[in-house]
């Protein structure tokens, strides 16, 4: 691709990052150039965020409907996976899954809930008094 053909399309990350691409200059030699983005990449990124927002909304509804505990919502909201949450809290994987059940969550001590609150960067009260 020639340097003047390098896409400079707008994207959600336009003000935050740019891509380094190898392009041919006017002498036909390769050099590095910066791109603000490509439409295809921007669409893929937008689709990924749509999926993430859908998962967060599903998690919120699951908590409101009494199917999951607030831990599940904040877990999705903070884009965590099991390895991350177990690393932050020190709980085992099966323990975290168990804590995502509403009847188990209600019995957790403040000390255990505080570990989750710290991991999610929220207050203990926000975790205990989830209001969706």
Percentage of residues in the chain with pLDDT exceeding 70?
A: 96
The CATH architecture one would assign to domain 47-128 is: Orthogonal Bundle (1.10)
User: How many other CB atoms are there within 10 angstroms of residue 117's CB atom?
Assistant: 20
Give me the pLDDT at residue 36, please: 77
Q: Is the pTM of this model over 0.75?
A: yes
| Residue 37 CA, distance from chain mean position | 21
Residue-wise pLDDT tens digits, 28-44? 889 888 887 777 877 88
Comma-separated ranges of CATH 1.10.260 domains in the chain: 47-128
Give me the pLDDT at residue 85, please: 98
Give me the pLDDT at residue 13, please: 65
**Separation CA 3–CA 37 (nearest Å):** 14
**Separation CA 25–CA 4 (nearest Å):** 8
Residue-wise pLDDT tens digits, 50-68? 999 999 999 999 999 999 9
């Amino acid at each position: 691709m020639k340097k003047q053909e390098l896409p400079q399309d707008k994207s959600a990350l336009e003000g935050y990052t740019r891509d380094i691409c190898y392009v041919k200059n006017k002498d036909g030699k390769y050099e590095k150039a910066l791109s603000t983005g490509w439409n295809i990449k921007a669409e893929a990124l937008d689709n990924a965020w749509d999926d993430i927002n859908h998962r967060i909304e599903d998690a919120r509804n699951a908590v409101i409907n009494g199917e999951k505990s607030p831990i599940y919502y904040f877990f999705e909201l903070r884009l965590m996976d099991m390895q991350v949450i177990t690393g932050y809290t020190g709980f085992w994987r099966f323990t975290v899954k168990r804590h995502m059940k509403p009847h188990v969550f209600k019995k957790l001590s403040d000390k255990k809930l505080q570990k989750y609150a710290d991991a999610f960067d929220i207050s203990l009260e926000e975790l205990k008094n989830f209001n969706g």
